[in-house]
Structure 1
Amino acid sequence: MIAVLLAALSGNLDVLRHLAETVLWDYTRTTIFLVLLVGAGTLIIGTGTAWLVTMTRFPGARLFEITLVLPLAFPAYVLAYAYTHVLDHPGIVQSTLRDVTGWGPRDYWFPEIRSVGGAAIMLTLVLYPYVYLLARAAFLQQSGGAFLAARSLGSSAWAAFFKISLPMARPAIAGGVLLAIMETIADFGTVAYFGVQTFATGIYASWISFDNRGSAAQLALCLLAFALLLAVLERTQRGSAKFHTNTKRQARLLPIRLTGLRAVGAFVFCAVPVILGFALPVVILIDMGVGSEQNLFSARYLHFIQNSLTLASIAAVLTVLAAVTVGYFQRLVPGRASAIAGYAARLGYAVPGGVIAVGIMVPIAGFDNALDAWMRKTFDISTGLLISGTIWVLIAAYLVRFIAAALNAYEGGQSTLHVNMDAASRSLGETRFGTLRRVHLPILRPSLLTALLIVFVDVMKELPATLIMRPFDYDTLAVQAYRLASDERLSGAAVPSLVIVAVGLLPVILLCLRVGRQPQG
């Protein structure tokens, strides 16, 4: 962040002034509109489906507990490729419509997939699982006492949900929506493919088209300010609202059995995002990939898979450990310093991966060059690029990029732990670290598993930072898909994209099974 700030302060203002006179307002307006659409969509879909599969029973509810998370394994830009292939003018949908009706290209109106609305739909379909996962974990950790008390006082199930369960789960839900919004303002692949002008595309335009890194860093600072504003507004609006559960087994809440039209409505509400966000794109991508020249079982592709799994696993573990450190520090030492630490940790999620990559590479490359020069002068030994050429620099970029995801998941669960639990543990002789290890972490296992899953899948899908910072000849599935798509070989790009989805399915399913076994009520 310091490197990006220094680049912004030392950059030439001519390009930024030109952008301000031409397209900067369009960047701002489109970004805000996209944020509002995706935020509302992920909130409604994620929270609604989490409540239905957790607190009600209807045909297919158990299956939806797992399938609702499956779109999380999809990169938004892959979803954009799939739906553009089907819904664009030469796609099968419009071609069939013209063949059946005999209409010409100007005889009918069809929704334009390459638009702000289309980008919002793509992002919503792949980002709502953030809200779903965190909301479901929060619902599972709630005691049923307050909900049952509201029902006994005459409230309907829906009234009790809006008055009791929803406010109690608010920290987790707000964290999930904030993750989705930050991912939206940092997205580049989807909006660039659809031709939607946002701050992210403006940053890359300044970086690549104008070859002005200072101007790109200045736009990145605008994005940082927006991310900080979102975090401050969310925390301010949340205020000091808290809830505490004295015991996890205070009252077991039996799921509500839905019948008739209510059961049908619940089924449709849960089925639509699964079909549009996972099932249909998989079918489209398989159809695109059939007949391509990509061999999944070749040594080359097995190497791509191994590299992707290695990076994702290491980055997920280290990022969650860092999030626990920051989150527990905020609990132990509440105040301005810990609040600033929490805000700073979240900023990376709103910055495009390429900007973070350069912000890390510049100082580390400078250190490597300075060390090499000193070793040459002192000992006549060349150390070369000692740090820059390793995967650890890339993992550091992942940590900066995705610690907000892990931190929000951890804090969503930590907010349910009463402070008296810490006092009781300390009075029994436990240290602060012992309280974290023996009290907090076992209780927060669903939230930690959620954090691990989110970071793992996000690293599998991350593209810009991987392209810039990967060691020589250390390609991943995302890099391979990007190369093929850049060459307009979308059929070939569908193959590594499907592998990314397939690899992400196992941790998704395992997480859902583990969370589903946690005690309710």
Structure 2
Amino acid sequence: MIAGRGRRSASFALRRLRPRHPLAWGLLVAVAALVLTPVASLVAIGSRGDPELWPHLAAYVLPDAVATTLMLLAGVAALTTLIGVGTAWLVAVHDFPGRGLVTWLLPLPLAFPTYIVAYVYADTLDTLGPVQGALRGLLGITVPAGSLLPEVRSLGGAVVVMSLVLYPYVYLAMRAMLQARSAALTEAARLLGAGGFRIARAITLPMARPALAAGLALVLMETLNDIGATEYLGVRTLTLAVFTTWLNRGSLAGAAQIACVMLVAVAALIALERHARRGRSVAASSADSRACRRVPLAGRAGALALLACLVPVGLGFAVPFVFLLREVFTRGLLVGFDPDLVRHAGSTVMLAGGATVLTLALGFGVAFAARLIRRRRAGALLGAAGLGYAVPGTVLALGLLGPLVAVDEAIGSVVRALTGHGAGLLLAGSAAAVTIAYTIRFLAIATGFAQAALARLPVDLDDAAASVGARPRRVVAAVHLPLVRPALLGAALLVFVDCLKELPATLLLRPLNTETLATYVYQFATRGSFEEGALAALLIVLVGLVPVIRMVRLSDDLDPDAPLA
């Protein structure tokens, strides 16, 4: 009786405690407002319009840009699905010589930004490049009389190049789902007389559809965000239209109107991804924890499977990596490198490091806050805080400009009233603007890692601590942080490297006379001398390999038979 009364009193105390988290509510509201403010600002700027420029944009810019963007998205979606699902199926369902090696190699192209791979292939496969030069030598052609290969600087070239870099998003999601498929369902289907193809079509692939939708959503978001590869390859997408309308035409309102069209495209992608996952959640049966045995492939079948996995790795990682290494050594960039590169690398580390710290603090902070509150509205605010990743960098930069200038003007008014002198622009056009843009864009990574890590901790831990009077900050410091430290490290690596590679937002918001490694490489590419920036590109890739290898280890932990785990 006394124990029952104690439980009831503890439960009553917890019910009284949970709604009273003003700091947690304040953090959730503030972070959600930070993410949504650029979008609201963008819509406000676009609604004011540019009466002189808009008719021209609507008649001559938007139709081609929308059509090109849709074709690019469709092509990249189709090719990444083919490569990602095909390779995931081979390594998760079959066993063949070299499978353990390619399992680790297949995600490596994620270490490359799309624009660097585009620069490499545009130079390598150019009419006067080494590949076509070798072909002319083999064919006995002494004078170049046109291209012997399909043009890389085209929509088709952009589809292939971007797919070679982005397919690992689909591969990792599909592999995780396929290697966790239930043996009971497969055996039951075989007992009913179903063959391998029928099982794949009716059971395995439909169950993996949510993973495919999630992977494709990331691929298409990255495709929509790209500006370096599409500009260099001559593909006039909506992202590039925003960039040129703002900087070349000097029309902020016109750029905002095009950006609003991009927001509609982003909303459509999110809606499609959620529709694909709706009602299709898959849970493994606790009664059958066995994983399906892999089907062995030997002889010619095994060799073909290995080749099918090595081709995308070779084209998406090995060829660009070897190209960069060759340029670095043949041009003596390690010995006589540009002294400014050290300064630019320092700027890159400073910006990426500051944004990583801020992103982790806010991301894990709002995840802890939502866990403390445990209300549906808190979950909605947490979801809003993660929407920044869906906003392309160009659109985000454009939407941030107005709020940053407004804050600067407010600070200037206060300083002017106190001192009689203006304060100038403190946020807009400064390192703070770039840091804020990085934080908003990659906050979803931190919140995702935090939610996944906290979901593994029993809520009873929080309740027990609250019942003995422990304050939330004490619970976080003594219980949560030590247990989620691996997730913190993983999120930090991914956020840091994504900041390192981010090009559109950095181009538009960076301070004057400030370059990052990404913009440094971009400047060489726009001048037609990308090879001179090979060392900076190689630095980006080498740093990017760290989180990619970590992701491979995490995904490999799901595979009990992985030989390299």
- Find out whether 1:283 has 2:301 as its counterpart: no
Task: Name structure 2 gaps, 5 residues minimum.
Answer: 1-38
Structure 2 contact 111–544 (Cα < 8 Å) conserved? yes
Q: C-alpha displacement at 1:301, in angstroms?
A: 3.8
Aligned to 1:216: 255
Provide the C-alpha distance between the structure 1 equivalents of 2:105 and 2:347, rounded to a whole number of angstroms. Answer: 27
Q: C-alpha displacement at 1:90, in angstroms?
A: 0.9
Aligned to 1:7: 45
Q: C-alpha displacement at 1:183, in angstroms?
A: 1.5
Aligned counterpart in structure 2 of residue 200 of structure 1, from 234, 239, 245? 239
- Find out whether 1:17 has 2:48 as its counterpart: no
Provide the C-alpha distance between the structure 1 equivalents of 2:361 and 2:208, rounded to a whole number of angstroms. Answer: 24
- Find out whether 1:44 has 2:82 as its counterpart: yes
Q: C-alpha displacement at 1:285, in angstroms?
A: 2.4
Structure 2 contact 184–288 (Cα < 8 Å) conserved? no
Aligned counterpart in structure 2 of residue 127 of structure 1, from 166, 180, 187? 166
Aligned to 2:395: 355
Q: C-alpha displacement at 1:168, in angstroms?
A: 3.3
Provide the C-alpha distance between the structure 2 equivalents of 1:323 and 1:156, rounded to a whole number of angstroms. Answer: 46
Aligned to 1:225: 264
What's the TM-score once normalised by structure 1's chain length? 0.83
Provide the C-alpha distance between the structure 2 equivalents of 1:99 and 1:453, rounded to a whole number of angstroms. Answer: 46
Could you tell me the percent identity over the aligned residues? 34
Aligned counterpart in structure 2 of residue 464 of structure 1, from 504, 509, 514? 504
Distance 1:249 1:294, change over 3 A: farther
Task: Write the mapping of 1:148-167 to structure 2, written as runs, cut at 5 A.
Answer: 148-167=187-206
Q: SS state of the match for residue 52, structure 2?
A: helix
Q: C-alpha displacement at 1:165, in angstroms?
A: 3.7
Aligned counterpart in structure 1 of residue 149 of structure 2, from 90, 95, 110? 110
Aligned to 1:89: 127
Distance 1:184 1:133, change over 3 A: same
Q: C-alpha displacement at 1:514, in angstroms?
A: 3.5
Distance 1:16 1:503, change over 3 A: same
Q: SS state of the match for residue 245, structure 2?
A: helix
Farther-moved stretch of structure 1 (470-479 vs 355-364): 470-479
Aligned counterpart in structure 2 of residue 28 of structure 1, from 48, 66, 74? 66
Task: Name structure 1 gaps, 5 residues minimum.
Answer: none
Q: Letter of the 1:189 partner, please give it.
A: G
Q: C-alpha displacement at 1:269, in angstroms?
A: 1.6
- CA deviations over 1:467-509 (Å, ceiling 9, x no partner): 3334566532112212222333222122211111111112222
Aligned to 2:412: 372
- CA deviations over 1:440-485 (Å, ceiling 9, x no partner): x989989x88766554432221123223334566532112212222
Provide the C-alpha distance between the structure 2 equivalents of 1:385 and 1:215, rounded to a whole number of angstroms. Answer: 24
Count of residues in Structure 1 that have an aligned counterpart in Structure 2: 514
Provide the C-alpha distance between the structure 1 equivalents of 2:403 and 2:149, rounded to a whole number of angstroms. Answer: 50
Aligned counterpart in structure 1 of residue 521 of structure 2, from 475, 478, 481? 481
Distance 1:252 1:98, change over 3 A: closer
- CA deviations over 1:45-68 (Å, ceiling 9, x no partner): 222223332343222222222211
Aligned to 2:215: 176
Q: Letter of the 1:54 partner, please give it.
A: A
Task: Write the mapping of 1:300-339 to structure 2, written as runs, cut at 5 A.
Answer: 300-312=340-352, 315-316=355-356, 319=359, 325=366
- Find out whether 1:250 has 2:293 as its counterpart: no
Structure 1 contact 133–450 (Cα < 8 Å) conserved? no
Distance 1:27 1:158, change over 3 A: same
What's the TM-score once normalised by structure 2's chain length? 0.78
For the pair shown, which has the larger CA radius of gyration, 1 or 2?
Answer: 2
- CA deviations over 1:401-425 (Å, ceiling 9, x no partner): 23456677889x79xx89xx98988
Structure 1 contact 368–386 (Cα < 8 Å) conserved? yes
Provide the C-alpha distance between the structure 1 equivalents of 2:368 and 2:268, rounded to a whole number of angstroms. Answer: 20
Q: Letter of the 2:300 partner, please give it.
A: L
Provide the C-alpha distance between the structure 1 equivalents of 2:154 and 2:483, rounded to a whole number of angstroms. Answer: 45
Aligned to 1:76: 114
Structure 1 contact 31–199 (Cα < 8 Å) conserved? yes
Q: Letter of the 1:277 partner, please give it.
A: G
Structure 1 contact 11–213 (Cα < 8 Å) conserved? no
Farther-moved stretch of structure 1 (265-274 vs 487-496): 487-496
Provide the C-alpha distance between the structure 2 equivalents of 1:165 and 1:442, rounded to a whole number of angstroms. Answer: 34
Distance 1:208 1:469, change over 3 A: closer
Distance 1:343 1:385, change over 3 A: closer
Structure 2 contact 493–546 (Cα < 8 Å) conserved? no
- CA deviations over 1:7-44 (Å, ceiling 9, x no partner): 21223133221122223221111111111110111122
Farther-moved stretch of structure 1 (385-394 vs 265-274): 385-394
Q: Letter of the 1:19 partner, please give it.
A: L
